[in-house]
Amino acid sequence: MDNNKPKMRSQEWFGRFDTLGFTHRSWMKNQGYPDHVFDGRPVIGICNTWSELTPCNGHFRILAEFVRRGVYEAGGLPLEFPAMSLGEILMRPTTMLFRNLASMEIEELIRANPLDGVVLLTGCDKTTPSCLMGAASVDLPTIVVNGGPMLNGKFRGRDIGSGTDVWRLSDDLRVGAITMDDYLEAESCMSRSDGHCMTMGTASTMACMVEALGLTLPGAAAIPAADSRRRKLAQLSGQRIVEMVKEDLRLSHILTRPALENAIKINAAVGGSTNFVLHLLAIAGRLGIDLTLDDFDQLGSRMPLLVNLMPSGEFLMEDFFYAGGLPAVIRELHAHLHQDAITVNGQTIAQNTENAPNYNAEVIAALDKPFQVDVGLTVLRGNLCEQGAIIKPSAATPKLLRHRGRAVVFSDYEDYEARIDLPDLDVDPDCILVLQNVGPKGYPGMPEVGNFHLPKKLLAQGVTDMIRISDARMSGTAFGTVVLHTAPEAAIGGTLALVQDGDIIELDVPGRRLHLEVSDEELVRRRAAWQPRPPHSERGYVSLYLEHVQQADQGVDFDFLVGKSGAAVAHGNH
């Protein structure tokens, strides 16, 4: 044995010569492992969120094999393990209900097993934050391999984007602009390869987030899932994690406050999803970093939009990759970033991108010629959202960013579905649609229904956007003048619960204001009359969720998960 080797955490299992050591090694040998793999080399966990119920991650068995190759090449021992996979498309009522549960599973799997470092295979929306939240709570050397976006959708000679064009096609179908045959044909043309949504939806935003944080190898975010360079990236990541373990380059050395601030600015420049706010707040909470909504507003809201991708623009992730990907954006932003933030390859974010080329200025703009200015995610304050609300100006209608209108209120999503298309619904294009009780506790799980459809009779008149306000989330692929994450939510008695039909609401995005024009005295009267709804469940996980989930301005994590516990285990025996 080489006595100069740093002692690995896994040696607490495999390096002892007693009953436990015998047991740990012997049972592993039933898989054919020879004696020498227990000699103190780094043991690398491959956390695989593959599932046939998560089609965005359906190719992860292949990626895991390439990670495994890289680990072996670098002298490590790879051990793959499954983790709860959150499939955005199929899970009900919403994957956000289960993000914290998945993070708890991942945290405990990493801590409880003989692992020295971890490779996280992530793709579909919540698989990325759940993996990062869990890994951050343990704080081992960690690298992310994201699965990559699908190839561009192709429908009748034009590109179509996942999610973004679903909303457009669905509205066209509702008003008779296309037939059901047209609609079903587009269904097969949109999703035509492995990978996650190829718009700048939440999955792509999360891929950009982890690269911006320094947790992937450079250029990882935009490589299409079907491109062979995605497999190459996985193999190189497997090699690199072994080196990270030897260097003791832990997650907390990379996920610093400067790295979080960089991610906020980069997210604004790419036109990232509003879900970014919730997930980064939760990740920061696990690290014990004090991050607030004000940080997002101060750091990101006035950043220029440099990436021309749906839903804020016209192109898709495949085009973004060919144009230069995230490194080209980061290079443009150098003057705005903490350039000395370290990344998983041991280099700084500036060193990784100093020579990054931009091959297409129609997709990635120069800093002095942005596509839009002052359109980063904006935090609203006012008596309707005492703890804040979020809007994405880059995906909104400019003329609605300052607007005053009459409220049309839906008490929950079922009420909305029952009444939105009624011919006698008292609504006009200047109204503000308000949806209550779709927040973390109210739904429960804070679903992506904030971009709810407009009344059919207004769509038929050519209306394409209206202000919508809720305590829900919105798909990153969606668009519209949509106020989200209103806190406190309606279900716990936030002012949103007190809004009534006919109330006047003022939205002033440049002024960061969301105001309900109702007197304080009337609000006191309404609050006294308000009654909470009965809990959705009194047993099992949902009951735990309802008792401990935080509000949107805190990241919707569980209160008892804030702060990391580290990698130590309490006992070494059974």
Domain membership of residue 477 (yes or no) is yes
Domain membership of residue 565 (yes or no) is no
116 and 16 in a common domain = no
Percent share of the chain, pLDDT over 90: 96
Q: Is the pLDDT of residue 144 over 50?
A: yes
296 and 257 in a common domain = yes
Nearest-angstrom CA–CA distance, 264 and 272: 9
Average pLDDT over residues 335-352: 99
Q: What's at 219, amino acid-wise?
A: G
481 and 456 in a common domain = yes
Q: Is the pLDDT of residue 339 over 70?
A: yes
User: Looking at residue 537, what is its pLDDT?
Assistant: 87
Question: 385 by DSSP, 3-state: which?
Answer: strand
251 and 339 in a common domain = yes
Domain membership of residue 17 (yes or no) is yes
Domain that holds residue 223: 41-151+193-353
Nearest-angstrom CA–CA distance, 405 and 103: 41
Q: Which of 531, 547, 567 is the last residue of a domain?
A: 531
Long-range Cβ pairs for the range 366-371 (8 Å, 24+): 366/306, 366/332, 367/304, 367/306, 367/332, 367/333, 367/335, 370/304, 370/305, 370/306, 371/304, 371/305, 371/306, 371/307, 371/308, 371/313
Number of domains in the chain: 4
167 and 47 in a common domain = no
438 and 471 in a common domain = yes
Domain membership of residue 368 (yes or no) is no
Domain membership of residue 547 (yes or no) is no
Average pLDDT over residues 221-237: 99
Q: Which of 337, 353, 369 is the last residue of a domain?
A: 353
Q: What is the pLDDT of residues 429-439, one digit of tens each?
A: 999 999 999 99
CATH of the domain at 398: 3.50.30.80
CA Rg, the chain, in Å?
Answer: 24
162 neighbors 150 (Cβ within 8 angstroms)? yes
Q: What is the pLDDT of residues 172-193, one digit of tens each?
A: 999 999 999 999 999 999 999 9
Sign, Cα dihedral of 231, 234, 236, 238 = negative
Q: Which residues contact 257 (CB under 8 A, 6 or more apart)?
A: 289, 291
50 and 24 in a common domain = no
51 and 31 in a common domain = no
Average pLDDT over residues 450-459: 96
- Estimate the crossing angle of helix 257-270 against helix 325-332, to 10 degrees: 110
Q: Is the pLDDT of residue 380 over 90?
A: yes
Q: Which residues contact 574 (CB under 8 A, 6 or more apart)?
A: none
522 and 403 in a common domain = yes
Domain membership of residue 415 (yes or no) is yes
511 and 526 in a common domain = yes
CA–chain centroid gap for 211, Å, is 13
Nearest-angstrom CA–CA distance, 26 and 514: 64
User: Looking at residue 5, what is its pLDDT?
Assistant: 62
Q: What is the pLDDT of residues 400-410, one digit of tens each?
A: 999 999 999 99
Average pLDDT over residues 92-99: 98
Q: Is the pLDDT of residue 6 over 80?
A: no
Q: Is the pLDDT of residue 4 over 70?
A: no
Nearest-angstrom CA–CA distance, 571 and 574: 8
Domain membership of residue 186 (yes or no) is yes
| Residues β-bridged to residue 403 | 507
User: Looking at residue 198, what is its pLDDT?
Assistant: 98
Grade residue 538 by pLDDT with cuts at 50, 70 and 90: confident
Question: pTM of whole model > 0.85?
Answer: yes
DSSP E strands, 350-428: 378-382, 385-391, 402-410
Average pLDDT over residues 491-509: 99
The residue ranking higher by pLDDT, 1 or 3, is 3
In angstroms, the first-to-last Cα distance of the chain is 28
434 and 301 in a common domain = no
Average pLDDT, the chain: 97
Q: What is the pLDDT of residues 248-302, one digit of tens each?
A: 999 999 999 999 999 999 999 999 999 999 999 999 999 999 999 999 999 999 8
106 and 220 in a common domain = yes
Q: Is the pLDDT of residue 572 over 90?
A: no
CATH of the domain at 230: 3.40.50.2300
Q: Which of 192, 216, 245 is the last residue of a domain?
A: 192
Domain membership of residue 566 (yes or no) is no
Average pLDDT over residues 201-211: 98
User: Looking at residue 486, what is its pLDDT?
Assistant: 99
Q: Is the pLDDT of residue 510 over 80?
A: yes
Q: Is the pLDDT of residue 513 over 50?
A: yes
